[in-house]
Structure 1
């Protein structure tokens, strides 16, 4: 699979960041920024980032005759691979998706019950509390769980998010801001 563009080095994940590590280069294009985001949300898995980038480009090309929504396409291509997009009240899907994402690094989230698929537990569970629990446990292993929304899009009916290395938090926030995405740590609602 080819590197997304000839203009940037896939091994230099933050070549577009300014000298203080937080300034986004005004010349950085949307595709280059999206590539950086995919590298961040696929820690140590450039192949997965490349596959998702190709799928995103295809989705954008398919929607070229209508006005494409780059962030909606992103949400679709990363879902259950390096991100999640679940209904806010579907606690079962939230647990399942977070477990799937954590398993990429052989991690297991302790949901505080023997059977997190128990209907009584799921009915009583709150999505925000589940996100906070997962966030705190992933932090212990060097990762950060993030939730995100396109800037200005109040979507209280869904939880969308991804996981990065803990030390990539400032880089993620800078790239997300440049892409007009609001990000929050998973323990902040």
Structure 2
């Protein structure tokens, strides 16, 4: 029997950042919600840091860092809309989907009274979640401490990474089909 130990003897590459580095975790989150667009992720990361600095917030997990993050990513990589504003729910999610040249079939139009009278924001997000999954994307609902709906999208293949990273960041997320 040949000795295959050479194939399994490897040394891990050292990370170029501290694994407990809060900023590195936020950066990784931005990379997840901006797949293939590190330039936009970097712009949002810098904008987020500027917003925290303007507020005098420290760059640490115990700070109130999530609202400035939503301000930095708003309508580009995430959304924050009022629960009752169904037009904004549909517009925000449609805008995110358009980044990947996706057009969502909502199953109706809010101008149609039969459709509008039978849906609410939770149902719209659930419809969007299902339509996006068909194309390999996941709509996430984020508990940002607001009364409205907040969320972002990422590739479905990154679902486990999103859950693990959000756990490390102490951010509660759910699938968009079950929004907060």
TM-score by length of 1: 0.78
SS at match of 1:180: coil
> Which consecutive residues of structure 2, in runs of 5 or more, have no partner in the other structure?
1-14
Equivalent in 79, 90, 97 of residue 74 of structure 2: 79
Distance in 2, Cα, partners of 1:68 & 1:165: 28
Alignment of 1:7-156 (within 5 A): 7-8=16-17, 27-64=19-56, 69-113=64-108, 116-118=109-111, 120=113, 121-122=115-116, 124-150=118-144, 153=145, 155=146
SS in 1 for 2:104: coil
The whole-number CA distance in structure 2 between the counterparts of 1:118 and 1:45 is 35
Instruction: Answer with 1 or 2: which has the greater Rg.
Output: 2
The DSSP-based 3-state class of the residue aligned with 1:181 is coil
Aligned Cα root-mean-square deviation (Å) = 2.2
Alignment-derived partner of residue 23 in structure 1: none
Q: Distance in 2 between matches of 1:130 and 1:30?
A: 33
Partners of 2:65 and 2:83 in 1: CA distance:
22
Deviation readout 1:158-188 (Å, 9 max, x if unpaired): 1100110001001001111111111111112
Measured after TM superposition, the shift of residue 63 of structure 1 is 1.2
Q: Partner residue of 2:158?
A: 168
Q: What is the distance in 2 between the residues matched to 1:161 and 1:55?
A: 18
Once the 2 structures are TM-superposed, how far is the Cα of residue 89 of structure 1 from its aligned partner?
1.1
Asked if the contact 2:57/2:65 (under 8 Å) is kept, the reply is no
**Which blocks of at least 5 consecutive residues in structure 1 are unaligned?**
1-5, 9-15, 17-26
Q: CA separation in 2, counterparts of 1:79 and 1:68?
A: 20
Q: Distance in 1 between matches of 2:57 and 2:121?
A: 37
Q: Secondary structure at the match of 1:105?
A: coil
Relative distance call for 1:35 and 1:119 in structure 2 (3 A) is same
